[in-house]
Amino acid sequence: MTTPRTAALRGAIAAAVFLFLSCATGSGQRGSAPPERNVLIVVWDGLRPDAIDAADTPNLARLREGGSEFTDNHSTYPTFTMMNSASFATGGFPGTTGYYGNVVWQPGAEGKDSAAKPVDFRQPVFSEDYAILDGLSRHLEGKLLLAPTLFEAAQKAGMQTFALGKNGAAYLQDAKRGGMLLDEKTVLPLWLAKELQGLGVALPATAPNAYRPGDLVLSATNGNPTEFKPPQRLKDGVSSDPTDASGSRFKAGLEYMVSAYLNHVLPRKQPRLSVLWLRDPDSTQHSYGIGTRNWQDALRSTDALLGRIADRLKELGLERTTDLIVVSDHGHSNVSGPLDLFPLRAVRDGAAAAVDPDGHSVSGLVRLADLLRRAGFIAFDGIGCTWVPLAAGIKADGAPVYPPLTDADGTVCGKAGQNYQAPPMKVPVELPPGALVVAVNGGSDYIYVPDHDPALLRKTLRFLQGRSEVGAIFVDDRYGRIAGTLPLGTIRAGNAQRNPDILLSYDYDEEAIVNGVRGTEYAGMLQGNTYRGMHGSFSPKWPERVHRGRDQQHAGPAAPLLRRLGAAWDRGAARPGRRDPDPRAPRIPRLLEGSRGHLRFAHPRQVAEDRRRRADRPRRVPADHRPQEGPLDHLGRQERLSAEHRGPAGADPGRGARRRGRRRAQAPGRAHRARPRGGAARGARLRGEGGHRRGALRRSGLARSNRARRRRGEPRPRRVRDDQEVPPAARPVRRRVG
């Protein structure tokens, strides 16, 4: 059984890779330097396990058959991209990393986004942006992540690293800028940007914003290779059209970045560690839903990129020395409320039509701050007016859940004639007493209670527990046990300085079918947009398959495929994975070890885990040790004393100078210093504890501090009472204790 102190990751596929990062150990025989190996990690954002087949993903399916598949892995909850990106980077859970993306609330930070626009950090901010991450890091005194990263360890060992792909997620792997980066918004460092320019490679249009004016100038023909066109929409101008078949609108940008890596970075720089974070199929699933034709196109185009990567490795002669790892950060599900309340509808002539069992979702999005306000709370979410006419809910009788409103003069939404369903709820400069701040993230939302008022928190929880849209609820450990909730520490998301006060998962239905795909969930109105697909919930099956706690195990949303090219891997073997920090697969640091020396990667949680393991080893017990007779649940520390230390019957431990002298002779300088003094000594006498007790325990090596017991989850030992047998050497107890 895994202990709560385990710092390794159970990622849905987040863990599959970075469970390997707990620490590095040497490989090979002594005296022989193992050959240098390269590690290439390809992240398919939002990939579900049931999406892998020979029709849509032939290269990935072939890799699974010819490599190794890990089938028992878990996402870090909440199952957001940036949350799992932090886990990928460090191997830790949120309680270790201190990072709570996607949307975080860190008032007091300052900075601009990648487009050089000022960011209002009084509002919850969407952190998938390298410049926003930099602003958060400055506010947190450079401690955006509280644990060291794999990239840092590789760079300290003299290895070249490269991160590519999705804005924010790729950057978080190397947020301290120690290696090379090409994402959707910039290129780092400057010499790499200029080198790519010299090779005729276009750069992201916002790349110059990462540098001082004039340091990087784009040519007139550069264009914007990572521009993402808006999705096809219905006649309402807001809802995406699930019947559209124009294909993934992200594949061109992904092809551009992967081509730059394969054609220029890989052959010229040959980085030892590379992470390629591909935003499909996740982003296409958000726009159009799972099971749609555009979703299939996203799978096929991403799989084609994987095929290009494998072919290029072979062309460059790197196949035998490269470990290719394909992972996913979380699962995905279609957004919908219960189908009996919000039946599926056909889409005809660019609008939702009659009820159709084979139709599309017209419900599922929730604006939690609006619900809280309607219940009398003072709530803010940093979002302006929202207008999502379909996703907010169309009931079986055709009536909308939210009747449409119009801002006639522009005083509500800032634009005359704008339609809306809920008004803006921006966080003010000065928060009123009793306010709540909601950070909308999608399948789960955060609620911050700035006052940390227990009464307000409990009132909020009672409201949430009465809402059918809300599922599992987790609460900051500071509030103690609250009925119907779990502490954040139970899912390893507790960090007293950074975690929200309430973390709630929206409800889900594992068996509901939309577009021929199982699994639906409610979702928050992330950034006020409309979504047909979402992730982030606590579903144990189709949507996420998350790590739920120390005793529950579920399969990951897309089992990672690790093919160690040219190494002794079992071809086609399914590896269930281990439920402790030491997986059967080699750790990534071990794969990276070569003639340059060993790569070390261990953060404080791992050090604590190692200490715990040493503490749990069998201890030497004196040969004449005999425990006190009596109920096991009443055994006190005195019972661990050997007969030698019990003393003769009737002896008084408060006197007996000769006996104390013998103890000092046996262990000079220890027993007399360990003896309780002052109030502690008086308490020891009341509890029937002799003055010899601590020194004897220390000499026998049997003492265990209460702190160590708490770390292992053991109850504090109960003191001997007056109705129990006590060691002969102990002073008679004069009053009941406990």
Give the pLDDT band of residue 75 (cuts 50, 70, 90). Answer: confident
- Give tens-digit pLDDT for 458-498: 999 999 999 999 999 999 999 999 999 999 999 999 998 89
Radius of gyration, CA atoms only, the chain = 30
Cis upstream peptide for 204 (omega within 30°) = no
Tokens of 651: 């002896």
Tokens of 351: 């609008």
Cis upstream peptide for 281 (omega within 30°) = yes
Beta pairing partners, 233: 240
Q: Where are the beta strands (DSSP E) in 57-200?
A: 68-70, 103-104, 125-126, 161-165, 180-183, 187-188
Amino acid at 641: L
* Calpha distance 453→433 (Å, rounded): 10
- Give tens-digit pLDDT for 521-568: 999 999 989 999 999 998 765 444 443 332 222 223 344 554 433 333
Q: CB 671: neighbour CB atoms within 10 A?
A: 24
Cis upstream peptide for 102 (omega within 30°) = yes
- Give tens-digit pLDDT for 236-279: 999 999 999 999 999 999 999 999 999 999 999 999 999 999 99
Largest CA distance in the chain: 100
Taking alpha carbons only, the member of 92, 257, 217, 196 closest to residue 609 is: 92
DSSP string, 236-299: TSSSB-TT--S--SSHHHHHHHHHHIIIIIHHHH--SEEEEEE-TTHHHHHHH-TTSHHHHHHH
* Calpha distance 653→656 (Å, rounded): 6
- Give tens-digit pLDDT for 627-648: 333 333 333 333 333 344 334 4
Beta pairing partners, 509: 520
**Per-residue pLDDT, 69:** 85
**Per-residue pLDDT, 34:** 56
- Predicted structure pTM score: 0.76
Distances (CA, A) of 137 to 109, 124, 132, 238: 9, 15, 9, 34
Confidence check: pLDDT of 700 > 80? no
Percent of all residues in the chain with a pLDDT value above 90, rounded to a whole number:
65
Cα three-residue angle 284-266-221, rounded to 5 degrees: 65
Q: What is the mean pLDDT of residues 81-104?
A: 94
Burial class (CB in 10 A: 0-12, 13-18, 19+), 736: exposed
Residue partners of 731: CB distance under 8 A and separation at least 6: 652, 653, 654, 685, 688, 690
**Per-residue pLDDT, 660:** 57
CB 642 within 8 A of CB 700: yes
What is residue 573's three-state secondary structure?
strand
CB 335 within 8 A of CB 364: yes
Highest mean pLDDT among 68-72, 397-401, 732-736 belongs to: 397-401
Torsions phi, psi of 664, nearest 5?
Answer: -65, -35
* Calpha distance 26→598 (Å, rounded): 6
